[in-house]
Structure 1
Amino acid sequence: MTKLKALLLASMTAMAVLPAQAAETITWWDFFTGGDGVRMKALINDFNKEHPDIQIQATSLEWGVPFYTKVRTAAAVGEGPDMMSYHLSRLPLAMNEKVLTEVTPADMEAAGLASGDFFDTVLKAATQDNKLYAVPFDIHSLVLYYNKSYLQGTEFLDAQGNLTGITDLASFERALQAAKDKGSAAPVTYATGDDGGVYRVFYTLLAQQGGQLISDSNEVLPGDSEAKAVKAVEIMTKWHENGWQPEQALYPASVALFTSGQSAFSLNGVWEVPTMKDLAASGKLGFEWGAVQVPALMGQKATWADSHAFALPVQGDRTMTPEKRKAVMTVIGWMEKNSVRWAEAGHIPAYKPVAESVEFKQMQPNATYASLAETAVFDPNSRIAGVASPVYDAAINIISPAIHGYMPAAEAVAQMKSDLQGLLN
């Protein structure tokens, strides 16, 4: 064999073992950090390994206003991703901004999904004008975390060490006082100095009274909802006055109060479950803990909730090819069917076959509060509601000062109603 033939043969052999180029590359944007980010990266890596013909190229961007501003700009000029994460609470604003494309029945079929596979609460939140604009991935909600050490020997811990006896506001407040008597610095902690923490607690207390923040006809606090909103603010103010909740706590401080053992209860999202599990596993948590659905403090079960979903952005004047669209829906279908791994971050799968699976039902504490999927209350269907919206601004600029004693509850609610209504008129 001549030297030239040997070189040619070696070159051809090397080319034969090179990996095939992916038929479709899917550009992906998300806003996941911390435990969520770790779990999503693992899911993406596993998808790519299993699908050499479809490869996800993922970019994580800053959560909140920066993410949604970039989406809006990218959609206008056609420089957005093929798919992205999206909060369902932002969907009404997305319709106003015209940044999302419809997820059609044919798309769902390509993903191997059906609308009946999802909880009604999230399906409703993902739908506008009877059209689906995002595929729900999870339900993440406010839950009640508890420190068992403060409840030992009280009526609020049963023989198995589970929270019990909190059936209304009065019993919850008895538990708060019992914890304070046992030395708890802040018997119930939440982010009293942040928009998200204040809004989620306020909205839960309002929803549990059957109140509406914004009606379908764009009326802010319609009917007797204003009085119910005042009641919610008065309750949060009482918790402050009695020394049951922290003073102007930013989110990290509110979490630290609970993880350091200074609080008996924490009203926070399911996304802190990994924090608690990791601390317990490392031996850095000095108490036993649990998490349950927020009790019906105000008469009915209802809890603030949102959903991470998958959405397909508008691409300026460009249209996605059928091949690319099918690949995107293949990604979404795979993510949904593997969402039990996403549930490890504390979330409840929006995809019912996973939520109802034996594997998920054995996952703790998720399975304990999974029933909230049926009673979750999403933000109003309004362009001024949702993550990083004027409603959240009102929580920090008006409600938070009120609960700290800087203005009467009725005055604060009246101002919030006037300001929000002005944005809708």
Structure 2
Amino acid sequence: MKMNLKRLALISTAFVSLTGAVAAQQNVVWWDFLAGGDGIRMKALIDGFNAEHSGEIQIQATTLEWGTPFYTKLQTSAAIGEGPDIATYHLSRIPLAVDSGTLSEISDDDLAGAGISDADFTEAAVQAASVDGTRYAVPFDQHGLILYYNKDMLGEAGLLDENGLPTGLDGLENFDAILAQFSGDGKYGVSTPTGDRYRTIYSLFGQQGGTMFDEAAGGFFPTDEDLSKLTTAIEVVKGWVDKGYTPVQVESPAALALFTSGQAPFFIMGNWEIPTFVDLHAKGELFEWGAVELPTLFETKAAWSDSHAFVIPANAGKENDPEKRAAVMKVIAWMDQHSLDWAGAGHIPAFNAVRESAEFQALKPQSDYAGFADTAVFDPRTILAGPAAPLGDAWSNFINPATTGEIDPADAAEQMRDDLNSQL
């Protein structure tokens, strides 16, 4: 009888241990908006995390439609307590999300519990992740505007150094002279998609030290000097159009083809096109190419940037679960620590240790333009900013058309300012 009781006790102990282990696994509900190559890379990261943390933490991932549908669904779901445990987000949209009560604060203790801190990330991204000194996101990358170049064409013109990097591009007069050198006879100095020219203009505005938004000083472009700097930036890009250095109207696919066909030595676009060129070159369908930071045409380095980041929705009515939150933070820290794989999409890791690693430095051309992470110009801290937001509409309605001669640059700058201020 004693033997049976002892055996029963052992079985009971084993059962309790087994069920305890099962209960200890945290299932983290994840939403993202990542499609195409980004989606493939993120799925690989999620699979890697799940394999490494089997029985401890498992990510249950869902990919939703990018843009307004994603942000609207996240906001409405969080409001009724049915949002995910973690979501991807653009840092430029953080102020709007905070204003709508969608996001939970991420404290210093949250970061410390996962073994990370603000000091692990680029300063520009850390600032963009906070509103009024409160952190609501953890940066994952920085993506921004860069300059792609044709090594063959620049080499023949004597514009490459011993490392195959462009030389002599800084300064507006210098850069314009180089564009003129390659323009004519059906060719152009630079390919700039009409619909994306606002990013170049915002970068040049930042290079002049312009202030786009200051609520206390009056809102958007608060001084005449700021408005003048915006006008100057528009006139630079319009000048490229007027002088025949870039086509009047050319949208993204045609602009891409203009560069890949050798009709333009330069292409200004976001770093997300890196996989396209890598694939074309691997197939033997592209010349030798590279990518670097935008030239500094004015006083300081600056380039338009945004950041994919991780947020924790403020799910209304849900009780705080310290173990679940610790698991979410562990997911975030792991993703940042393994973001070298994400850099394959062209993005710059926001996590300093990865960006400064020998492995990343060997990654080309990403490490050649990684400097923009430290001089990035994010959207201003306003609820009107970010993808699929009023600021983007204003750029499209007023500034892009000014580069094609539809609106006078000074008038376009004023109309943009007045339109945005009317929505505050």
TM normalised by structure 2 equals 0.91
Q: What are the equivalent positions in structure 2 for 1:23-38 lying under 5 Å apart? A: 23-38=25-40
Q: Distance in 2 between matches of 1:253 and 1:320?
A: 51
> Any conservation in 2 of the 1:145–1:290 contact (CA below 8 Å)?
yes
Deviation readout 1:5-30 (Å, 9 max, x if unpaired): xxxxxxxxxxx9xx968711111111
What is the root-mean-square deviation in Å for CA atoms of aligned residues?
1.8
> Any conservation in 2 of the 1:22–1:55 contact (CA below 8 Å)?
no
Q: What are the equivalent positions in structure 2 for 1:340-359 lying under 5 Å apart? A: 340-359=340-359
Q: What are the equivalent positions in structure 2 for 1:256-335 lying under 5 Å apart? A: 256-285=257-286, 287-335=287-335
Identity across matched positions, percent? 47
Question: 2:244 aligns to what?
Answer: 243
Question: 1:55 aligns to what?
Answer: 58
Q: Distance in 1 between matches of 2:412 and 2:337?
A: 45
Question: 1:214 aligns to what?
Answer: 213
The size of the alignment, in residue pairs, is: 402
Unpaired runs of at least 5, structure 1: 1-15
**Distance change (3 Å), C-alpha of 1:273 and 1:42:** same
Of 76, 80, 96 in structure 1, the residue corresponding to residue 79 of structure 2 is 76
Question: 1:204 aligns to what?
Answer: 203
Question: 1:232 aligns to what?
Answer: 233
* 4+ long deviations beyond 4 Å: 19-22
Q: Distance in 1 between matches of 2:358 and 2:162?
A: 26
- Determine helix, strand or coil for the equivalent of 2:116: coil
> Any conservation in 2 of the 1:65–1:388 contact (CA below 8 Å)?
yes
Deviation readout 1:62-109 (Å, 9 max, x if unpaired): 222221111111111222111010111111111111100001122112
- Determine helix, strand or coil for the equivalent of 1:58: strand
> Any conservation in 2 of the 1:184–1:264 contact (CA below 8 Å)?
no
Deviation readout 1:43-64 (Å, 9 max, x if unpaired): 0000011111211111112222
- Determine helix, strand or coil for the equivalent of 1:156: coil
- Determine helix, strand or coil for the equivalent of 2:304: strand
- Determine helix, strand or coil for the equivalent of 2:268: strand
Amino acid at match of 2:267: S
Deviation readout 1:348-396 (Å, 9 max, x if unpaired): 1111111111111111111111122221111111111122221111111
> Any conservation in 2 of the 1:139–1:347 contact (CA below 8 Å)?
yes
Q: Distance in 1 between matches of 2:88 and 2:39?
A: 12
Matched, 1:108 2:111: yes
**Distance change (3 Å), C-alpha of 1:169 and 1:55:** same
- Quote how far apart the aligned CAs of 1:328 are: 0.7
Deviation readout 1:114-155 (Å, 9 max, x if unpaired): 111111111111112222100001111111101123323324
Question: 2:48 aligns to what?
Answer: 46
- Determine helix, strand or coil for the equivalent of 2:210: coil
> Any conservation in 2 of the 1:303–1:376 contact (CA below 8 Å)?
yes
Q: Distance in 1 between matches of 2:365 and 2:186?
A: 23
Q: Distance in 2 between matches of 1:276 and 1:267?
A: 14
Unpaired runs of at least 5, structure 2: 1-17
Matched, 1:96 2:99: yes
Q: Distance in 2 between matches of 1:159 and 1:362?
A: 17
Question: 2:375 aligns to what?
Answer: 375
Deviation readout 1:148-180 (Å, 9 max, x if unpaired): 233233242235432111111111111212222
Amino acid at match of 1:48: N
Q: Distance in 2 between matches of 1:32 and 1:251?
A: 20
- Quote how far apart the aligned CAs of 1:248 are: 3.0
Q: Distance in 2 between matches of 1:248 and 1:26?
A: 46
- Determine helix, strand or coil for the equivalent of 1:152: helix
- Determine helix, strand or coil for the equivalent of 2:183: helix
Amino acid at match of 1:247: V
Q: Distance in 2 between matches of 1:107 and 1:161?
A: 44
Q: Distance in 2 between matches of 1:30 and 1:398?
A: 31
> Any conservation in 2 of the 1:150–1:184 contact (CA below 8 Å)?
no
Deviation readout 1:268-326 (Å, 9 max, x if unpaired): 111111111111111121x1111111111122101111111000011122134112111
Q: Distance in 1 between matches of 2:219 and 2:22?
A: 57
Deviation readout 1:327-348 (Å, 9 max, x if unpaired): 1111111101111111111111
Q: Distance in 2 between matches of 1:164 and 1:96?
A: 45
- Quote how far apart the aligned CAs of 1:187 are: 2.7
> Any conservation in 1 of the 2:131–2:381 contact (CA below 8 Å)?
no
Amino acid at match of 1:74: S
- Quote how far apart the aligned CAs of 1:110 are: 2.2
Range that drifts further, 121-130 or 156-165? 156-165
Amino acid at match of 1:205: L
- Determine helix, strand or coil for the equivalent of 1:385: coil
- Quote how far apart the aligned CAs of 1:186 are: 3.6
> Any conservation in 1 of the 2:139–2:307 contact (CA below 8 Å)?
yes
Range that drifts further, 304-313 or 257-266? 257-266
- Quote how far apart the aligned CAs of 1:215 are: 1.7
